[in-house]
Amino acid sequence: MVACAAREIGDGDVVFVGMRLPLLAFALAVSTHAPRAVGVFENGVMRDTPPRGPVVTMSDPPNLDGALWAGALSRAMALLAGGHVDLGFIGGAQIDRHANLNTTRIGPADAPRVRLPGSGGGCDIACAARRLLVVMPHEPRRFVERGRPPDQPRLRRRPRLARAGRAARLRVGHADHHQGGAARHRGHRRLRAGVGPPRRAGRRRGRRHPWGWPAGEPRAAPVTKAPDREVLEALRALDPERVWTGDG
Amino acid sequence: MPDKVLTMREAVARHVPDGARVACGLALEAAIPFAFAHELIRQRRRDLHLVGPIADAVFDQLVGAGCVAVIEAAWVGNVTTGTGYCFRRAVEQGRPRPLTVRQHSNLTISLALQAAAWGVGYLPTRTALGSDIAGDHDGFKLVACPFSGQPLLAVRALRPDVAVVHVQRADRRGNAQACGNLGISPEAVGAAATVIVVAEELVDTGTVRARPELTLLPGALVTAVVHEPGGTHPAPLQQFRAHDAAAYRDYASASATEEGFQAWLERWVLGVDDRAAYLARLGDGRRA
C-alpha cells in the first residue's frame, strides 16, 4: 500500500505530506523514483530528502535534521493556499463512494458512537492541493455507501473551489480507486496482485460488499504491479521496526 | 528589568485560574509542555478551555483528569497510536465530565489566533469551504469578498487568557528563543493576554542578543519564565530530545480504560511532586 502510494508522487512534485502513512510514502518516493520531490509538512517543515532516521511524527528530530526549512505552520499553509502544492497526501478514517472524507465522528453530532480525533490539517490539504491522494487501510468499516456526517471537503464539490484540482485518487490496501472530475462515482482502477475482483455475490441484499459499495466494471480492473525488490528494501530501511508496515 | 523566573507550581498557581482559556501544545507534536499540563492536573484546575492545533496527547491527559470543559482544536488524540481514549470517553459518555468540542482545522485555528494577535475580529480564508467544519460552531461564518464577491470563510478571532510555550532557551526577563518547527506558536503568543515561557535552558541576555533572529517573543511581552529541563518528555525538543514513542504507546495502553488511566495518572502525575521527580522516576536512559 505504501509503495503504491509513493508511486503517485512525481519527480519534482511539491507534496504536502500529512500525518502517519503519508510520511513514510513521501520518504520512500524521495529515496527511490522521485529524488527531486519536495515535501511540505504542516508543522512548518520543508525537506527534499528522507528523514535521517525512523520517524513516527513529522516533528521528530530526524525529520528536521537536514531540512530546507523549519518555521511556522502559517507559512507552510500559505504555500498550500497560494496554489504552490502539486499533490496533497493524507490519511483518513472513513470515506464514502462520492469521496466525502470523515475524520470527526461516526454517529449523530449530539451523540456520536465514535469520536474520531478530528481533521488536523487534512481538511486544509484536501481543500487547496491541486491533486489529492488519500491512503488508508482497506477495511469495510472505512468504506461506506454514504458517510454521515461528511465532515471533510466533499470532493465532488472541489471544482467550486478556484484552485482545486479535478481529480482525486484513493489508495487503499488492495485497490486503487479514482474519481475524475466528471465521473459519477468511483470504480476500481487497479487491484493489487493476488486480490481477485469483487464478486457479484457481494452485491446481494443483506450482504456487505467488501468495498462498501458496488464497484464499477470490476473485470476490467488491471492488476497493480508489485513493488520491486529495491523499493521494498528502501521501505524496510525507513521503517526498520515495522511500525507502519507491520501488516506487510 | 524584572526577574520573571518562577517555579512551575508558582506559575500555574498565579497565572492559570479555573475556567481560563489556555493555548498550549502549539508546535503540533514537538515541544509539548507536558510538565505544565501535569502541574495543572496536580493543582486540580477545572473548567479549562483548551486551544491548540494537534497538541499530541496532552489534551487527552487533561480531559481524562477532569480539568477541561471546552476544547477548541484541530485534532485530539495520541499521534503515535491514533485514538485519544480519554477524549473519546468524554465526548461519547460524558466521563469523567461532559466536554464541548469546537472543531477546527490546523489553518483555521492558526487564523483565529492570528486575528486576535492583529486586533481584528476575524480573518478570511478559503480553507474548509464545502466542508462541515465550516458549520460546526459560531466561530465560522460564510462571507463574500468585498472586492470580488468570492465566497470566503470568516474565522472569528480567538484570544487565549494564557499561552504556554516550551522553548530551547530564555533569559530571566523572558526573552525566549526557539528553533525547529514552531507550528502556531508565533500567533498564539501574539494573541494571548498572558504568556508563560518554559525554558529548557536559562541563559544570560547576551546569548539572546547574539542570535536575535531566534527570538520567538521578547521578554516585554512575557509574564513568567519557568526553567524546566526535560519539560516536554515524551514529546521531542529540537537539539535536546527525541520523541519517546514507547512512552506514548504505554500511555495509549494504560488510558484505554478509566482504571488504567487513573493508575497511569497516579504513577506519572499525582504520585510525583514536580518534573524533576518525574524525570527521576523515568530514569537516565529515557530522558534524552
Taking only the tens place, the pLDDT of each residue in B25-62 is 999 999 999 999 999 999 999 999 999 999 999 999 99
Average pLDDT over residues B216-227: 98
Q: Is residue A154 less than 8 Å (CB to CB) from chain B? A: yes
Structural element, H or E, at residue A167: none
**Cα(B8)–Cα(B186) distance, rounded to whole angstroms?**
22
Which chain A residues are closer than 8 Å to B166 by Cβ?
Answer: none
Q: Considering only the beta carbons, identify the residue of A55, A124, A149 that sits closest to B105.
A: A124
Residue A189 has, within 13 A of its CA and on its CB side, a CA count of: 16
Output the CA angle A33-A39-A40, nearest 5 degrees.
Answer: 165
CA distances from A164 to A6, A161, B243 (A): 21, 5, 35
Which of A59-68, A95-104, A238-247 is most confident?
Answer: A59-68
CB pair distance less than 8 Å for A73 and B53: yes
Which chain A residues are closer than 8 Å to B84 by Cβ?
Answer: 117
- Residue B118, pLDDT > 70, answer yes
CB pair distance less than 8 Å for B29 and A153: no
Find all residues with CB under 8 Å of B172, minimum gap 6, and list them.
B3, B4, B5, B202, B225
Where would I find the beta strands (DSSP E) of A107-186? 114-115, 131-136, 143-144, 168-172, 175-179
Q: What is the pLDDT of residue A63?
A: 97
Which chain A residues are closer than 8 Å to B29 by Cβ?
Answer: 43, 57-60
- Residue B201, pLDDT > 80, answer yes
Q: Is residue A52 less than 8 Å (CB to CB) from chain B? A: no
CB pair distance less than 8 Å for B133 and A151: yes
Q: What is the pLDDT of residue A160?
A: 32
**Cα(A5)–Cα(B121) distance, rounded to whole angstroms?**
41
- Residue A155, pLDDT > 60, answer no
- Among the residue ranges A211-220, B104-113, B261-270, the one predicted with the least confidence is A211-220
Which cell is A237 given? Answer: 530501511
What pTM does this model have?
0.90
Q: What is the pLDDT of residue A184?
A: 36
**Cα(B128)–Cα(A125) distance, rounded to whole angstroms?**
9
B64-81: per-residue pLDDT in tens?
Answer: 999 999 999 999 999 999
- Residue A152, pLDDT > 60, answer no
Q: What percent of chain A clears pLDDT 90, i.e. is strictly above it?
A: 44
Radius of gyration in angstroms for the set of CA atoms belonging to chain B, rounded to a whole number: 19
- Residue B230, pLDDT > 90, answer yes
Phi, psi of B255 (to 5 degrees): -80, 0
Average pLDDT over residues B245-272: 98
**Cα(B199)–Cα(B176) distance, rounded to whole angstroms?**
8
Distance of CA B258 to the CA centre of its chain: 23
Structural element, H or E, at residue B216: strand B215-217
Interior/surface letters A63-78, b for 16+ CB within 10 angstroms, e for the rest: bbeebebbbbbbebbe
**Cα(B244)–Cα(B235) distance, rounded to whole angstroms?**
7
- Pairing mode, strands A45-47 and A114-115: unpaired
B1-23: per-residue pLDDT in tens?
Answer: 689 999 999 999 999 999 999 99
- Residue A225, pLDDT > 60, answer yes
Q: What is the pLDDT of residue A91?
A: 87
Counting one residue from chain A and one from chain B, the pairs whose CB atoms sit within 8 A come to 183
Q: What percent of chain A clears pLDDT 70, i.e. is strictly above it?
A: 68
Q: What is the pLDDT of residue A186?
A: 46
Find out whether the peptide bond into B234 is cis, omega within 30 degrees of 0: yes
Higher pLDDT pick, A105 / B30: B30
- Catalytic residue list contains A42: yes
Which chain B residues are closer than 8 Å to A165 by Cβ?
Answer: none
Catalytic residue chosen out of the listed positions A8, A42, A145, A241? A42
Q: Is residue B284 less than 8 Å (CB to CB) from chain A? A: no
**Cα(B82)–Cα(B206) distance, rounded to whole angstroms?**
43
Q: What is the pLDDT of residue A156?
A: 39
Q: How confident is the model at residue A144 (pLDDT cuts 50, 70, 90)?
A: confident
Q: Considering only the beta carbons, identify the residue of B103, B238, B245 that sits closest to A104.
A: B103
On whether the CB atoms of residues B272 and B41 are closer than 8 A, the answer is no
CB pair distance less than 8 Å for B133 and A123: yes
CB pair distance less than 8 Å for B127 and A56: no
- Pairing mode, strands B215-217 and B176-177: antiparallel
Q: What is the dihedral of CA A125, A84, A45, A28, to 10 degrees?
A: 80
A159-203: per-residue pLDDT in tens?
Answer: 333 233 334 555 555 555 554 433 334 445 555 555 544 444 344
User: Please, where are the H alpha helices in chain B?
Assistant: 8-15, 34-42, 58-64, 85-93, 106-118, 185-191, 205-210, 245-255, 258-265, 275-282
Could you tell me which chain A residue has the CA closest to the CA of B94? A111
Q: What is the pLDDT of residue A199?
A: 46
Q: What is the pLDDT of residue A182?
A: 35
ipTM: 0.94
Q: Is residue B243 less than 8 Å (CB to CB) from chain A? A: yes
Which cell is B106 given? Answer: 490546523
Average pLDDT of chain B? 96
Average pLDDT over residues B134-162: 97
